[in-house]
């Protein structure tokens, strides 16, 4: 009786032919000259499969709508087990895949492996390169952060510059009315449905053509052919393992970028493409104004057309690599040009907005703040705004650093945003604030005054001073008194009050002003002991004479 393993193998062979197909693949004849230079195609295939696998894992927790996309990605990174690792593998896998595809095509070009009868194989490879770049473009928008949003705005605007077809391309991408929900839906559909299907079909065609025509031998090769297994198979597995190690190291130790939630109103944001498109970004600087379509449309189109036409232009007999001076020159020139443009783009990149590097202003500076500004900081703390925003240095959060934000909004815009964030910034997950109009004005005033150089004044303010300033502002004390030079003059200025009256006198004055100041129009105030202590302590901490606050 035959062993079960043999019976199962025969059953599968009869019905699928899988065993024969695997043996034919493993023991296929390849040229004796084949070696390490042929491993990049296998690495690219592995990375495509890895991208599909990690993409599926991300999709299980990803919400494919603007705003929700950002929140779900934040959830993946912070809450899902190994979520940050999976996201890093997917992000950096895209970059390494582009590197592998470019190296594979460079090797084929240098060795002339595109020549007859492999012209269609080369053209399929060129299409695969374009599809790989397409994955990068469409996936760029999916985090729905500010970086992705404004980068896609630029991309769709460039696409709209195409002669005749520009408006139709913009309409197809759903960006003719601006980047929004329709654009997001179409980019998502392209990224997870259309591009994977076309890429898989092209890979199958490409592999079929490689099997049909075989690996291109070296010119004047005389040695007998060898089988793919075990020698070349070992080289391919080793290369894939090396790529896997690099990818895991990148995912573990290099954080995938994530900016704050996309803000369509942040017109001061300077978008930057991913590293593999920086050369094109820099090229556009040589074609200003009406010449911009030359750099954005014409030159890339000519470059792609030249790639497709390579097998039909170079029809000479294959020669050794050392004799292919023109091919070597083209590769060196392209590499130097790409590296130079990319380096120039990196060098001229604007520095990320960060908090001040020098020491913060001295703690005494908080005494120079206006009561409303200090009260606004208290409302900032009360509403837990620090969960999503930094005031100075600190780890990156969902929202912008409020001291270094590129575009300073008006108080009217801020108050509308505080009241209904999702209406002002579509997709915002910020909850509406529970503040009245006076408190909203104080919060907006604080943010308008905030700068990198004075942020330390607010953060250094003790809790009693913040609470006291909130009470001062809420009771409208500025309608009769001046603090730090601002307010009305119906009553005496409060700077230096500690040198004019003892603490007990001030506390009694709040409770019964007319008893201590006959004829006073100040109404009595009934404060809790805690509020009274905070307000009086704040007033007693004011400087003797007002000086200009922190700039």
> Residue 303: what pLDDT?
95
Reported as a pLDDT band with limits 50, 70 and 90, residue 187 is very high
The highest-confidence range among 16-20, 113-117, 459-463, by mean pLDDT, is 113-117
pLDDT given for residue 456 in this prediction: 81
Task: Say whether pLDDT at 152 is over 60.
Answer: yes
Segment 209-258, tens digit of pLDDT = 998 998 888 887 767 889 888 889 999 999 999 999 999 999 999 999 98
Tokens of 531: 């509020």
Query: How many helices (H) does the chain have, and how many strands (E)?
Result: 25, 4
What does the block give as tokens for 16?
Answer: 């699928």
pLDDT at 354: 37
Most confident of the ranges 196-200, 378-382, 415-419: 196-200
The pLDDT value given to residue 350 = 64
* For residues 358-365, average pLDDT: 42
CA angle 73, 76, 80 (to 5 degrees): 170
Pick the more confident residue, 210 or 453. 210
Q: What domains, with CATH codes, occur in the chain?
A: 26-347 (1.20.810.10), 363-540 (1.10.760)
Element (H, E) at 226: strand 226-227
Q: What is the mean pLDDT of residues 68-95?
A: 92
Selection from 224-228, 303-307, 472-476 with the highest mean pLDDT: 303-307
Mean residue pLDDT across the chain: 87
Q: Give the contacts of 69 (CB within 8 A, at least 6 positions apart).
A: 62, 63, 142, 143, 144, 184, 427
* Structure confidence by residue, pLDDT tens digits, 485-504: 888 888 889 888 888 889 89
Terminal C-alpha separation, the chain: 93
pLDDT at 506 over 50: yes
Selected residue with higher pLDDT from 87 and 455: 87
Pick the closest to residue 143 from 251, 83, 65, 84 (CA basis): 65
For residues 355 and 403, the answer to whether their CB atoms sit within 8 Å is yes
């Amino acid at each position: 009786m035959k062993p079960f393993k043999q019976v199962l193998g025969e059953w599968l062979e009869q019905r699928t032919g899988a065993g024969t197909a695997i043996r034919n693949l493993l023991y296929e004849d390849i040229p004796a000259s084949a070696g390490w230079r042929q491993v990049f195609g296998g690495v690219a295939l592995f990375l495509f499969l890895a991208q599909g696998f990690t993409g599926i894992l991300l999709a299980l927790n990803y919400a494919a709508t603007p705003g929700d996309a950002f929140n779900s990605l934040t959830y993946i990174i912070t809450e899902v087990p190994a979520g940050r690792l999976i996201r890093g593998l997917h992000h950096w896998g895209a970059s390494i895949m582009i590197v592998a595809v470019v190296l594979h095509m460079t090797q084929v070009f240098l060795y002339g492996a595109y020549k007859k009868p492999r012209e269609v194989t080369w053209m399929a490879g060129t299409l695969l390169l374009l599809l790989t770049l397409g994955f990068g473009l469409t996936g760029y928008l999916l985090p729905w952060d500010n970086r992705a949003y404004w980068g896609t705005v630029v991309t769709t605007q460039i696409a709209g510059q195409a002669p005749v077809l520009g408006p139709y391309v913009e309409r197809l991408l759903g960006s003719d009315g601006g980047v929004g929900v329709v654009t997001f839906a179409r980019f998502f559909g392209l990224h997870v449905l259309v591009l994977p299907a076309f890429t898989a079909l092209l890979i199958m065609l490409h592999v079929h053509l490689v099997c049909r025509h075989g690996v291109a031998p070296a010119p004047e090769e005389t040695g007998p052919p060898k089988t793919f297994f075990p020698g070349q198979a070992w080289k391919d597995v080793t290369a894939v393992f090396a790529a896997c190690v690099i990818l895991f190291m990148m995912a573990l130790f290099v954080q995938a970028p994530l900016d704050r939630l996309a803000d369509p109103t942040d017109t001061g944001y300077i978008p930057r493409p991913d590293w593999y498109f920086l050369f094109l970004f820099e090229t556009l600087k040589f074609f200003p104004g009406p010449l911009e379509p030359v750099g954005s449309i014409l030159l890339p189109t000519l470059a792609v057309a030249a790639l497709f036409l390579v097998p039909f232009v170079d029809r000479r007999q294959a020669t050794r690599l050392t004799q292919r001076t023109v091919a070597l020159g083209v590769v060196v020139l392209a590499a130097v040009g790409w590296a130079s443009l990319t380096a120039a783009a990196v060098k001229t990149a604007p520095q990320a907005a960060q908090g001040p590097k020098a020491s913060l202003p001295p703690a005494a500076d908080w005494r120079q703040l206006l009561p409303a500004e200090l009260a606004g900081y208290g409302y900032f703390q009360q509403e837990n705004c620090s969960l999503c925003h930094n005031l100075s240095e600190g780890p990156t959060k969902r929202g912008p650093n409020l001291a270094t934000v590129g575009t300073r909004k008006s108080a009217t815009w801020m108050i509308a945003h505080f009241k209904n964030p999702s209406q002002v910034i579509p997709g915002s997950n910020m909850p509406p604030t529970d503040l009245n109009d006076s408190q909203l004005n104080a919060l907006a005033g604080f943010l308008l005054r905030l700068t990198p150089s004075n942020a330390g004044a607010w953060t250094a303010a003790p809790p009693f001073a913040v609470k006291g300033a909130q009470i001062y502002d809420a009771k409208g004390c500025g309608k009769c008194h001046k603090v730090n030079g601002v307010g009305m003059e119906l009553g005496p200025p409060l700077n230096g009050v500690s040198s004019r009256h003892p603490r007990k006198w001030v506390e009694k004055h709040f409770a019964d002003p007319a008893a201590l100041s006959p004829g006073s129009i100040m109404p009595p105030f009934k404060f809790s002991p805690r509020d009274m202590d905070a307000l009086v302590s704040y007033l007693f901490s004011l400087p003797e004479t007002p000086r200009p606050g922190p700039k």
